[in-house]
A and B are shown apart, each in its own frame.
Chain A
Amino acid sequence: MTPAALSVSGLTKRYGDRTVVDRLDIDLPSGVVAGFVGPNGAGKTTTMAMLLGLVRPTAGSGSVLGVSMDDPGSYLPRVGALIESPAFYPSLSGAENLRVFATVGRHDVERIPLLLDVVGLGERGDDRYRSYSLGMKQRLGIAAALLGDPELLILDEPANGLDPQGVREMRELISSLASTGRTVLVSSHDLSELEQVCDWLILIDTGRSLYQGPTRELLDGVVSELVVAAEPDDGDRLHDVLARSGHRVVARDDRVVIDVDGADVTELAAAVNRAAFDAGIVLVELSPQRITLEDRYLTMVGSTGGSRTGGDQ
C-alpha cells in the first residue's frame, strides 16, 4: 500500500456559526495527481490553508507527508504551494522575488533560472512582476512553489484567469511535475482539465466529502447518454419514435441523444433497438457515452443541494 501523502480526519473549520469545512476526511496516496473539486464556498481553499498551517482547524487532526498537522514547521519545507492568488513584490523582478522567497525558505537559489525555464518565464525573469500578465503571475507562483523541490505540491486554482493556451500549458506543466513522482493536489473549476490530468479525485461540497478515490472509479461504467443514429432519411422519424416511447431525447447533429438518467443502459439500449425495429428503422449507431467529470460532479453536487455562495472560503 502506498503511504499517504496526506491524511486528515474530522477536519473542521468554523467561523462563528458558519461551518466552512465540516468533519472532512481525506486520504491521499503518494505519487498521485489529485483533483480537489467543489463549488465556490465548498471549503477547498480553507482546507488547503489548514494543510499549510495558515488557518488553524477548529477540530480534527491529520498528517502531511507523515508528519502531524500540529507541526507544520516540520513538513512545510517538503511542501510547495500556490494558494489563493500568486503573491509577490510588484517592484521586484520575477527572479528577484524567487530569490527573496528562496532565502527565507533556505532553498537553493541556483535553481531559480532552471525553474523560470520550467514555467516558461526564462526570458522574462528579469522583468518586474508588476508588468506580468495574469498567466505569467500564475506561472511564477508555480515556480515559487517548486523552489524547495517539494514532495507535495498544493495548487489552488492554478489555471485561474489563464487563456485556453495558458490552461493547456498549465495542464502540461502539472502532468510533467507529476511524472517526477511527486504528489500534486490541485483545485480547479475547469473540470474537463482536471479530468485529463488527475488520476485521483476529492469531491467536496459544503465542507463535506462527497467522493474520494481514483478518477476511473468515479467515471468508469457510468453512462450518461445513449447516442442513436439511423439512416439519414429516417433521422426525424427515429427522434419521434423514441420520444413517443417515453425517452428523454434531443437531436444532436444527425443523431438522437437519449438521457440515461440512471436507467440500466443495457435494458435501455434493448428498448431503443426494439422500438426502432418495430417502426421499421434500421439503426446504424447505438453507443453509450461515458459520463464526463462535469456531469458526474453536477449530479453529485445537485443531489446535496450545492453551495454556490460566492467566493470560496
Chain B
Amino acid sequence: MKKWWALFIILFIFSIDFWNWNKSEPIILFMPYWMWYIFVLTISLSIAFALFAKYAWREEK
C-alpha cells in the first residue's frame, strides 16, 4: 500500500509545476504546453486510480 501512496504523493508534487510559471509558449495545437502537461497529469491520475482499484483496493465481503 505504501507504494501506492508514494505514487499519489509524487503525482501531487508534479501538479505544483512551479517550473512552468511565467511561461506561455510553445503553444501546441490550441493550448500552451503546460496545459497539456496538466491534461496528461489528470489522465495519469485516472489511470493510477484504475490500477489502484484493481490491484490494491480489496473489497470486504
> Are A and B genuine complex partners?
no
**A residues neighboring B (CB under 8 Å):** none
